[in-house]
A and B are shown apart, each in its own frame.
Chain A
Amino acid sequence: MKRILALLMLTLLGSHPLLAIEERDISTFMQNNIDLATTILRDKKIQKPEKSEKLFAIFDSIFDYTLMAQLALGGKQWASLSASKQTEFTKLFEQKLKVSYMEKLDLYTDEKIVIKNLEKIKDARIHLTTHLMKNSEVYEIIYKFYKDKNNSWMIYDVDILGVSIIQTYRTQFADILAKEPFETLLEKLKQPDEPAPKK
């Protein structure tokens, strides 16, 4: 038991953003993270809020939320915002992603995740393909990494069954901003659980 805990701590340490993730380490690193996340998910003794807190500690070190927020909004729109608005939007967007993830936790039963393939798309892009197995069904999840300015590999998007999370938000944000001001978008992000009722 102690040994396992020590291992867990090591992986936690390993997930630290200060230690840049090297290209050759991505597979092992992600496998460790996935294993760790699965252990947390399966632990019936941990309550849900604590569970997600632990999981987010892992995610925070590998997801580049700022870039994700920027990509979801689109470069032009992003550039037109003041720094404080950018930060506010990023925070809300990060929160939206996390709330959405937390809601998925209820659906978790005993799925296994295995790493299938690591593909270097170009110099600064890597796609890591994983398979999630649930009652003999297989779902493909692709984590998309890029090399940030610290030469560390960070995730900027996730494809689930061929659907990009960033693209999903991007189309919705574009749709909202085509009709309404930016403030409305912020308002909508603040109430993540209620899809806006149609007039």
Chain B
Amino acid sequence: MRLILACLLSFSLIFASEYIGTTSYSNDDFEAEFTTKNDANLFDPLSGYNEIMTTFNDNFYEYLLRPTAQGYAYVMPQMARNGIANFFDNLFFPIRFVNNLLQLKFYNGWEETERFVLNSTMGILGFRDVAGEELGIKAHDEDLGQTLGHYGVGSGFHVVLPFFGPSNVRDIAGLAGDMWLNPINYIEARDANLLDSTEESLATTAFYTINKTSLHVKEYDNFKKDAIELYPFLRNFYESRRNKLISE
């Protein structure tokens, strides 16, 4: 049995290897498909700064964030960390809700509301994602950057932010707007603040980040291994991903 299987396998390998190096395509269609976002005409005025910031962020992750997250994961069981991540996601409801409405996605906005009510009560302050797990009501992640993109605002050039990572002009504008809706930020001009000071806000954000990172260390490390050049790799990933999210 094994032998036959091995024979079959080797056959397909032989035939596959015949494919290599035999053909050369001069298909303009293909070139056009991948040239649209091509690199020669890519407008990247900050590339020098961006590369340095990418290295900075990468070092920050490698030497500070990852070890901290791993140490934290060592003392905190995964179930608790999942719960904490759920708790924060539930808190960010205003960002998703408002941006769903801004994009006239009323049904999604309604589902977000259902999620918030169910998870805050039955899910005990959002620690359990009851709506998603039991009723299959999924979160509809939207932010202001996506809303702007939805209405045709172009991404502008790529900017790598310290700590935040890859972004672009449009998404920075979005990020600034979303800060207003983010409950764990402290904004004096805002009527209601969950936290009492900027220090508390920073500490909470740090905790959120460490908790979230601890859940994805393996995935991120694996993802980063694919990079040959980290900056263009992350830039392309970020911009493509954002375009996809906006189109959804």
Hey, which bits of chain A sit against chain B, CB under 8 A?
5, 9, 12-13, 15-18, 53-54, 57, 60-61, 64-67, 70-71, 74-75, 78, 83, 86-87, 90-91, 94, 100, 103-104, 106-107, 124, 136, 146, 148-149, 156, 161-164, 166-176, 178, 188-189, 192-193, 195-196, 198
A66 near B21 (CB under 8 angstroms)? yes
Q: In the complex, are the beta carbons of A172 and B228 less than 8 A apart? A: yes
**Is B78 interfacial (CB 8 A cutoff)?**
no
- In the bound complex, how far is the Cα of B230 from the Cα of A150, in angstroms? 38
Extra A-B contacts (6), CB below 8 Å, given A162-B241, A163-B244: A54-B9, A57-B12, A67-B30, A74-B34, A103-B222, A162-B245
Question: Once the chains bind, are A75 and B26 in contact (CB under 8 Å)?
Answer: yes
| In the complex, chain B residues whose CB is within 8 Å of the CB of A171 | 39, 42, 232-233, 235-236
Q: How far is the CA of A86 from the CA of B21 in the complex (A)?
A: 7
- With a cutoff of 8 Å between Cβ atoms, the chain A residues found around residue B20 in the complex are 65-66, 87, 90-91, 94
CB contact between A66 and one of B23, B29, B237 (< 8 Å): that residue: B23
A64 touches B19 (CB 8 A): yes
Chain A residues near B245 (CB, 8 Å)? 162
Q: Which of A17, A18, A91, A163 has the most CB of B within 10 A?
A: A163
Please report whether the interface of chain B is mostly helix, strand, loop or mixed according to DSSP.
helix
Report yes or no: B236 in contact with A66, Cβ–Cβ below 8 A: no
The total number of A-B Cβ pairs within 8 Å is 150
> Contact partner of B219 among A107, A146, A176, A192, CB < 8 A?
A107
A106: nearest residue on chain B (CB-CB)?
B222
User: What separation, in Å, do the CA atoms of A66 and B136 have in the docked complex?
Assistant: 43
Q: Assuming the A-B contacts A54-B9, A172-B229, A195-B228, are A136 and B133 also in contact, with contact meaning beta carbons closer than 8 angstroms in the complex? A: yes
1/0 per residue, CB under 8 A from A, across B85-101: the answer is 00000000000000000
Distance in angstroms from A178 CB to nearest chain B CB is: 8
Judging by beta carbons under 8 Å apart, are B8 and A13 in contact?
yes
Q: Are A103's CB and B225's CB within 8 A?
A: yes
Q: How far is the CA of A53 from the CA of B12 in the complex (A)?
A: 11
Q: Is the CB of B226 within 8 A of A90?
A: no
Contact A172 B232 (CB under 8 A): yes
**B78 CB, min distance to chain A CBs, angstroms:** 12
